[in-house]
Each structure stands twice: as structure tokens, then as C-alpha cells.
Amino acid sequence: MIDNPAQVERLLGRLEAALPLVLGISPRLAATIQGQAPSMTVPTECQVTWVSYAGDEGGIMCRLQLNDGSSNRQFFASLTHLLTRPGTPLAHDITAYQKHRRKRLRRGAIPD
């Protein structure tokens, strides 16, 4: 098992209560979005408007609102590919979840 079920349940509840939440987009995620929507200018931040748990395979999934104004496409990403900024609500909890999940993924349980 990659995720700690109790930690995920607590974090999901706190994330849902804090929505919408502004988080940064990692360079890897930005490249993925750009590959799916080449004409889109990918912002450095997004609003997370929905969260759900996709099991060990996906972790905490987030629906991203990119505010590009030109597309009705919806994008979803794992919380592990989003970045906290100083002052982000729940930054400590998000970072702890991400570190735990990345550490477990590096051990080879499920590819990142």
C-alpha cells in the first residue's frame, strides 16, 4: 500500500473544505498539459475545484481550472504534480502527503 488511508481521509476532508484552492503547476505537469493542448498557454498556477481519491494508483486527484479563457477542456492531475506556494492553505499537509507518496513510489510499488 502506497498511501496511508487515515492520512488521505483527513487530508481529503480538509482539501474539500478549502476549495477552491490555488496551487502551482509543476514543470512536468505543464509539459503534459501543453502536449494535450498545444495552442494553450499553460499558466503557472491553477485553481483546484474538486478532489477525490483514486486509490494507490492515482492518489488524490484534482480537477484543475486553468483560466485560459479559450478552452472548455477539463484537466485532472494527481496532487503530487501540484506545487504549494508560501501562504497556501494546508501547505504543510499537502507537502507531507506528497513527500510520503513520492517516497513510496520511488520504492517501486507503482510507477510514478
Across 24-48, b (16+ Cβ under 10 Å) vs e yields bbeeebeebbeeebeeeebeeebbb
- What is this structure's pTM? 0.87
Q: What is the pLDDT of residues 10-56, one digit of tens each?
A: 999 999 999 999 999 999 999 999 999 898 899 999 999 999 999 98
Relative to beta strand 60-65, strand 45-53 is: antiparallel
